[in-house]
Amino acid sequence: MKATNILLLFSLATIFTSCASITRDYFKETLHNPLEKIIYYASLAGNSHNTQPWIVEIENETTVHILADFSRKLQIVDPDGRGLFISLGAFIENFEIAAGSFGYKANVEITAQHKNDNIAATIKLSKSLETGYDLNIIEDRRTLRTPFRNDEIINEHLEKLIDSNKENVFYFSSASNEGKYIAENTLAAYTQQAKDDQAKQELSNWIRFSNTDVKKYRDGLTTAGMGIKGIGGFIVRNFYKPEDSLKDSFVNTGIEKTKEQTENCSGWIVIFQNEETPQKWIETGRIYQKINLKCRELNLGLHPMNQLIEEENFEKFANEYLSLPGQIQFIARIGYVDSYPVANSVRRPVENILIYN
Ligand X SMILES: Cc1cc2nc3c(=O)[nH]c(=O)nc-3n(C[C@H](O)[C@H](O)[C@H](O)COP(=O)(O)O)c2cc1C
Site residues for ligand X per CB under 6 A: 46-50, 83, 86-87, 90, 142-143, 145, 221, 225, 303-307, 343, 345
Q: Which lies closer to ligand X via its Cβ, residue 86 or residue 350?
A: 86
**Least distance (Å) between residue 61 CB and ligand X:** 28
The backbone torsions φ and ψ at residue 300, rounded to the nearest 5 degrees and listed phi first, read -110, 130
Q: Which lies closer to ligand X via its Cβ, residue 117 or residue 139?
A: 139
**Least distance (Å) between residue 306 CB and ligand X:** 4
Contacts of 67 (CB under 8 A, 6+ apart): 54, 55, 56, 57, 118, 119, 120
**Least distance (Å) between residue 142 CB and ligand X:** 4
> What count of other Cβ atoms lies within 10 Å of the Cβ of residue 2?
7
**Least distance (Å) between residue 328 CB and ligand X:** 12
Q: Which lies closer to ligand X via its Cβ, residue 168 or residue 345?
A: 345
Maximum pairwise Cα distance, the chain: 74
Q: Which lies closer to ligand X via its Cβ, residue 90 or residue 265?
A: 90
Query: Could you give the strand order of the β-sheet that contains 169-173, starting from the edge strand earlier in sequence?
Result: 169-173, 267-273, 327-336, 300-304
Residue nearest to ligand X (CB): 46
Question: Residue 184 and residue 251: Cα distance in Å, rounded?
Answer: 18
221 pairs with which residues across the strands?
A: 207
Q: Which lies closer to ligand X via its Cβ, residue 121 or residue 125?
A: 121
Q: Which lies closer to ligand X via its Cβ, residue 50 or residue 185?
A: 50
**Least distance (Å) between residue 48 CB and ligand X:** 4
Cα 202 to chain center, whole Å? 17
Helix ranges restricted to H, the chain? 3-19, 34-42, 82-101, 136-140, 155-162, 177-194, 197-205, 211-217, 223-226, 230-239, 248-263, 278-297, 307-310, 312-322
- DSSP string of 148-169, one letter each residue: PP-SPPPHHHHHHHHGGGTTTE
**Least distance (Å) between residue 23 CB and ligand X:** 13
Angle at which helices 177-194 and 197-205 cross, to 10°? 80
Q: Which lies closer to ligand X via its Cβ, residue 58 or residue 298?
A: 298
Q: Which lies closer to ligand X via its Cβ, residue 221 or residue 322?
A: 221
**Least distance (Å) between residue 86 CB and ligand X:** 4
**Least distance (Å) between residue 280 CB and ligand X:** 13
Contacts of 145 (CB under 8 A, 6+ apart): 226, 227, 257, 261, 303
